[in-house]
Structure 1
Amino acid sequence: MTHLIDRQTNSWRMDMLYEHFAPDDVALIQAIPLGGNQRADFFGWYFTKTGRYTVKSGYHTTRLDETRTFKPCGSGPEITPLLASVWRVRCPPKIQHFMWQVLTGCISVSANLGRRGLACDIGCIRCGADEETINHAIFVCPPARQVWALAHVPVGPLSFPTESVYANVDHFLGQQNPGANIMTFPWLMWYIWKARNARVYENIVEKSEDIVRIAEGEATWWQKAQLEEDIGIPVSFPVGLSVPAATNTLPTEFSGYRCFIDGSWKAGDQFAGAGWCCTSLQDASPLMGARSFRRSLSPLHAEAEAFLWAMRCMIGHDFGDVAFYTDCADLVKMVSSPSDWPAFSTYLDDITMDREEFSSFSLSYISRKANVTADSLARQARHRETSSPTSQANLLNLYQKPYYEYVEVV
């Protein structure tokens, strides 16, 4: 009787939702997590996965509906792919941004200042040319040409530099272009500009050979630093929470339980899936669980819900010493720094309360290859409603494990 009343109540609620909201909005409303703790409403930022506002996301959001008014002038290669390729150049972000400013005409050379209404001499202070344009300052001015020549860039009237700033930058970007092997060109552009500013604002004349030496030295040190980062530097997290480099191996000595967890989410599916696999030295056969639940807002929400459910399963089995493992690095980050993830506060409040039930608790990041069992369980649960007896039998036949836990669809 109680089950029948619950179904009637849910049906009435669904009718009310569809009466007042569009179908797409109903799906979103149903996906909103409802935690066990009551807390006051708070503001969040929809345009980041954490729910915290960032200047970068705000800037990106304001440009979504903006009409692009930039129209490049002059001759040279197609500007749109050229602008995109600038952000793929291996150099510091500030130099990438500088190169983008060069191509979009945002550099404050004398000619640009004059067009903006500033009363100034638009000539080049270094060589006396009638007009100092961006192309002139970076590529054509004799001191700049000398820097490019000393850096072993082939210089000639038909190849480089030309009268097009786009062609001059493209000279280095394309794999088949003549300057493709000059890896230091971003730093050369940057320090040519800094030398120009030193001459204009401080009346300091820097030697071309010094500019080349500094640029090449900075490029070498930066590229060496990137190689060291690629090797991997451990990241520090609070005790009990860790994100080591993804690995397929685990510590051989562990007296408690290891619980591998995973969530499965797909935009077109009605349900999401969760799976866990728990092993210990005391039990030769692993314990496993799988369930499906109404699709949440995002894959990361599904990961959080799967972790919370796995924690409660471990509590239900009276396992106090548990090390959890996930292949979702963001899940580890949000549990280690819950205040930085307000979009997941509903889950994180419950996780914070439930972790007090454990005598020993940890959450670590592993590679997907080390988490295949939990991943398979979650995927199978997403495709099958685990409240169905037929689906339960199929999953048992698939995995043939001695223990399997099912939870009805919510």
Structure 2
Amino acid sequence: MDHFNTHRGRSRLHWVSDLLDSDGQDWDYNKLIAMFNPADAEAISRIKLPNRRVDDFLAWQREKSGRFTVRSAYNPAMIMHQGPDVTAFSSRPEGDRILWSNIWNCQVPPKVRIFTWKLSRDILPTKRNKFKRRLELEDKCDLCGMERECSFHAVINCQRAKQLRQAMREHWNLPTEEHFIYTGPDWMLL
């Protein structure tokens, strides 16, 4: 594992055990405070340590580069959170990269590719996303006032979005409404 990156810069510590006291039985709070902001140091110090001594080991799959990344930890965390029966996540390597390359290689203007990427990652500036960041007082859709305005609602579920697709069908061959269903976080890719 490479050096820890902390709010105070890179550290020469390599292992979690480097943050323990000399007996290896408890956290060395002075090291935690020196490495992390006070809130994080406090949260780390509350993590219960095992009663018996075990050697450190890498718990997450490394990237192909051999480095640990947030992405390499995100996928197992999402599987644990959503359950083992969840469909593949978009950043997992089991074939989903083809879907991502379809987005990036599509022969459309770059702003359409970026919009599609943002839509698939649910990072459009919707009322819901702004509400979560305390930039809006409520997260209801301004157009219909019926539901939270998440990315799926904004482009699929809102009555105005449905009316737009219906009007577009007069000129283009779009899939029927039955194809536009929410199947989970990767609804658009699936």
- With normalisation by structure 2, the TM-score equals 0.46
Higher helix fraction: Structure 1 or Structure 2? Answer: 1
- Greater fraction of residues in strand: 1
Q: Which has the higher contact order (CA 8 A, sep 6+)?
A: 1
In the superposition, the TM-score normalised over structure 1's length comes to: 0.23
